[in-house]
Chains A and B, each alone.
Chain A
Amino acid sequence: MKRKIITSLIIIGIVIVILILLQNTLGNFKLRILNLAGIYVIFAVSMNLINGFTGQLALGHAGFIAVGAYTYTLLVMDSDLKSMNFFLEPIVPFLSSVHWPFLPAVIMGGLLAGLAGLLIGAPVLRLRGDYLAIATLGFGEIIRTVFTNTQSITNGSLGLKAIPMPKSFLFIEMKNAFTWWVWTAVIITVIFHFLLVSSSYGRALKAIREDEKAAEAMGVNIFKHKVWAMVISSFFAGIGGALLASLMTTIDPLMFRFTLTFNILLIVVLGGMGSISGSVISAVVVTILMEWLRFLDQGFMGLPEIPGLRMVVFSTLLLLVVLFYPRGLMGNEELSWNKITKMFQRFHMQPREVRK
């Protein structure tokens, strides 16, 4: 246990050092990709909790992200910005004068998303497999449609523009405060999920994944555990959504179509269902890869400009991984010091010893 704490502290330290280095060296555009990668880590890890660890194929993530994003945006905007945005139909009076600071707004986004998770999870988590998938996907779409049609609360399909970015981190004003917020959230999310899945609660979730009937026979309250997993998962999705809104500075309902859910699901699968470290690595790699592949769209090696080629290449890569490496990067195991050292030992040791 002590060793675990030390390792985690070391990892956090390394992440902070890397962040300090990156902040001072990267330009604005690359920093933005770094932030986006962090946000996708939050999405992927939270989705992995319900899909990978609990084994419930829930596809409503985009809806929870939307709840978080809209809650954050409506709380954090001041009345001037709101009146600028709501030119077609005025905002409902009780929201017009609300103006919260960054952190409470983000947390409120998470809480409301969690509440949405509870309201949706309680009825639909009685379903299983594909039925659960399609029902949660449906709820995600319903949330989006509601946001499109409630003109006086969400500004409908016009979306909300000029969402402010935080200028200070923990009351300290600094240049890249937002990056620090994002990656603090990432570290908290990852640690929380690590602790969660290694607790007795997490073992109950894995038991549900492996065999629901056996878990029930062992005294696990299946329904309660599933709903809690859903609530926690949607809470973090909401936090990520709030950060996404802040990063993008504009949001509209079309951003939260189920394509977003699929993107996150793909990241989770590539990293390995049931592996937090896998999700982290895959979220960062995929986000960077998606940006790096942009050169395909702009024409290269004498090829003309072909918009959309990037996504074709990306989806081909994805299909290849799913077809030939279906367990994903990490399967359902975690990256650990033991493993890394073992991996290095493998290179040095005699083959006979490796087999053992």
Chain B
Amino acid sequence: MTLQEFLQNFANGISLGSLYALIAIGYTMVYGILRLINFAHGEMIMVAAYIAFYTVFIFSMPWYISFFIAIIITTIVGILVERLAYKPLRSSPRVTILISAIGVSFFLQNLGIVLFTGRPKAFQVPTLFSQVYTIKGVNIVSLTFFIPTITVVLLILLVYVINNTKIGMAMRAVAKDYDTSSLMGIDVNKIISVTFGIGSALAAIGGIMWSMKFPQLTPTMGLMPGLKCFIAAVLGGIGNITGAVVGGFILGLTEILLVAFLPDLSGYRDAFAFILLILILLVKPTGILGEKIAEKV
């Protein structure tokens, strides 16, 4: 492999990794607060992608407005999902909420099939994101630069919000101890809604960039990225935002580089994420940056 090829793959890996990271944050935040694998999180990718597609396609809006609308609506959908499907079950056993999450995911996918039909649609990538630059023989689409940049900016913003604002402090408190924080006067329901909102908004941004990177929309498009991002979150240590980012980058980079170095194994690409996950879980069950939780007997 030449240096050029390596750099090209590396850039691809970084941009895929930042997409994973962006979506994994939503998983990790929800898990940190509700201890729930939000299976419907992957569907937010699909919702955002289709809204962005239709607002451009039918109303011929400029892309920035359409993306903005997509993000807003996806955020609302995410909050609604929590309100309608998870909130009534908050005191039930965790497996029931998990099933409810699977049910929501199923529902959104099938609703997608009814509304948008199962036929794949081609996403129109704005020219700003599809320009090709050639740097020392390496061809790179401008999107490859945009994705990591946007991710890093959003990440800094998120970390600032969580560490320095009142609502961020409340989020940390709820994640630490649900009952005590409600006794301390924190509106837990509001905080959970905010968490879902932020997670869904990030997933929407991730989803839009995902559909620019892989411009084919189907109602089940959120399934695999959703699972992989969850894996990224577990890899890094679920409940830990830095962990989700680290996990996302590790997963994205290794996935791309594996295919680049061992093209014979490219068919196993989807399985690779799971193999990595199982290896990590067996060596360090709480993930790379996860803290060991003391067990109460």
**Residues of A contacting B122 in the complex (Cβ-Cβ under 8 angstroms):** none
Select which of A137, A146, A315 is within 8 A of B271 by beta carbon: A146
Interface string of B120-146 (1 = CB under 8 A from A): 000000000000000000000000000
Most chain A CB neighbours (cut-off 10 Å) among B103, B113, B268: B103
Beta-carbon contacts under 8 Å, B81-121 to A: 85, 88-89, 92-96, 98-100, 102-104, 106-107, 110-111, 113-114, 117-118
| Contacts known (A135-B277, A142-B271, A315-B103); A123 close to B113, Cβ less than 8 A | no
Total A residues in contact with B, Cβ cutoff 8 Å: 41
Residue B282 is within 8 A (CB to CB) of chain A in the complex: yes
Q: Judging by beta carbons under 8 Å apart, are A141 and B99 in contact?
A: no
Interface string of A314-337 (1 = CB under 8 A from B): 111011001100100000000000
**Residues of B contacting A182 in the complex (Cβ-Cβ under 8 angstroms):** none
Q: Chain B residue with minimal CB distance to A308?
A: B113
**Residues of B contacting A129 in the complex (Cβ-Cβ under 8 angstroms):** 94
CB distance from A99 to the nearest CB of B (A): 29
Residue B215 is within 8 A (CB to CB) of chain A in the complex: no
Interface string of A276-312 (1 = CB under 8 A from B): 0000000000000000000000000000001111011
Interface string of B257-269 (1 = CB under 8 A from A): 0000000000110
**Residues of B contacting A131 in the complex (Cβ-Cβ under 8 angstroms):** 234, 281, 285
Q: Judging by beta carbons under 8 Å apart, are A312 and B114 in contact?
A: yes
Q: Judging by beta carbons under 8 Å apart, are A323 and B107 in contact?
A: no
CB distance from A271 to the nearest CB of B (A): 12
Q: Judging by beta carbons under 8 Å apart, are A326 and B92 in contact?
A: yes
A64 to B96 CA separation, bound complex (whole angstroms):
24
CB distance from A324 to the nearest CB of B (A): 8
Interchain Cβ contacts within 8 Å, total number: 112
CB distance from B250 to the nearest CB of A (A): 16
Interface string of A125-160 (1 = CB under 8 A from B): 011011101110111011001101100000000000
Q: Judging by beta carbons under 8 Å apart, are A322 and B99 in contact?
A: yes
CB distance from B189 to the nearest CB of A (A): 17
**Residues of B contacting A196 in the complex (Cβ-Cβ under 8 angstroms):** none
| Contacts known (A57-B95, A315-B103, A323-B85); A307 close to B278, Cβ less than 8 A | no
Q: Judging by beta carbons under 8 Å apart, are A307 and B102 in contact?
A: no
Q: Judging by beta carbons under 8 Å apart, are A322 and B285 in contact?
A: no
Select which of B85, B98, B118 is within 8 A of A308 by beta carbon: B118
Residue A124 is within 8 A (CB to CB) of chain B in the complex: yes
Q: Judging by beta carbons under 8 Å apart, are B274 and A312 in contact?
A: no
**Residues of B contacting A223 in the complex (Cβ-Cβ under 8 angstroms):** none
Q: Judging by beta carbons under 8 Å apart, are A315 and B282 in contact?
A: no
CB distance from A95 to the nearest CB of B (A): 20
**Residues of A contacting B267 in the complex (Cβ-Cβ under 8 angstroms):** 145, 148-149
A318 to B108 CA separation, bound complex (whole angstroms):
13
| Contacts known (A145-B270, A307-B117); A127 close to B281, Cβ less than 8 A | yes
Q: Judging by beta carbons under 8 Å apart, are A315 and B37 in contact?
A: no
Q: Chain B residue with minimal CB distance to A151?
A: B267
Select which of B92, B106, B113, B282 is within 8 A of A318 by beta carbon: B106
Interface of A is mostly: helix
Q: Chain B residue with minimal CB distance to A269?
A: B99
Residue B297 is within 8 A (CB to CB) of chain A in the complex: yes
Q: Judging by beta carbons under 8 Å apart, are B270 and A319 in contact?
A: no
Residue A203 is within 8 A (CB to CB) of chain B in the complex: no
Residue A213 is within 8 A (CB to CB) of chain B in the complex: yes
Select which of A130, A135, A322 is within 8 A of B100 by beta carbon: A322
**Residues of B contacting A34 in the complex (Cβ-Cβ under 8 angstroms):** none
Residue A243 is within 8 A (CB to CB) of chain B in the complex: no
A323 to B37 CA separation, bound complex (whole angstroms):
17
A306 to B111 CA separation, bound complex (whole angstroms):
11
Residue A76 is within 8 A (CB to CB) of chain B in the complex: no
Q: Judging by beta carbons under 8 Å apart, are A316 and B98 in contact?
A: no
A134 to B92 CA separation, bound complex (whole angstroms):
21
Q: Chain B residue with minimal CB distance to A217?
A: B297
Beta-carbon contacts under 8 Å, B6-51 to A: 31, 35, 37
Residue B249 is within 8 A (CB to CB) of chain A in the complex: no
**Residues of B contacting A318 in the complex (Cβ-Cβ under 8 angstroms):** 103, 106
Residue B294 is within 8 A (CB to CB) of chain A in the complex: no
**Residues of A contacting B37 in the complex (Cβ-Cβ under 8 angstroms):** 130, 133-134
Q: Chain B residue with minimal CB distance to A157?
A: B267
Q: Judging by beta carbons under 8 Å apart, are B268 and A145 in contact?
A: yes
Residue A265 is within 8 A (CB to CB) of chain B in the complex: yes
**Residues of A contacting B270 in the complex (Cβ-Cβ under 8 angstroms):** 141, 145
| Contacts known (A134-B230, A266-B103); A312 close to B281, Cβ less than 8 A | no
CB pairs A–B below 8 angstroms (24 shown): A124-B281, A127-B285, A130-B37, A134-B230, A138-B274, A139-B274, A141-B227, A141-B274, A142-B271, A148-B267, A149-B267, A262-B106, A266-B103, A269-B95, A307-B113, A307-B114, A307-B118, A311-B106, A312-B111, A312-B114, A319-B104, A322-B103, A323-B89, A326-B96
Interface pairs A-B: 8 shortest CB-CB: A138-B274, A145-B271, A308-B113, A311-B110, A315-B107, A149-B267, A315-B106, A308-B114
B→A interface (CB under 8 Å): 31, 35, 37, 85, 88-89, 92-96, 98-100, 102-104, 106-107, 110-111, 113-114, 117-118, 227, 230-231, 234, 238, 267-268, 270-271, 273-275, 277-278, 281-282, 285, 297
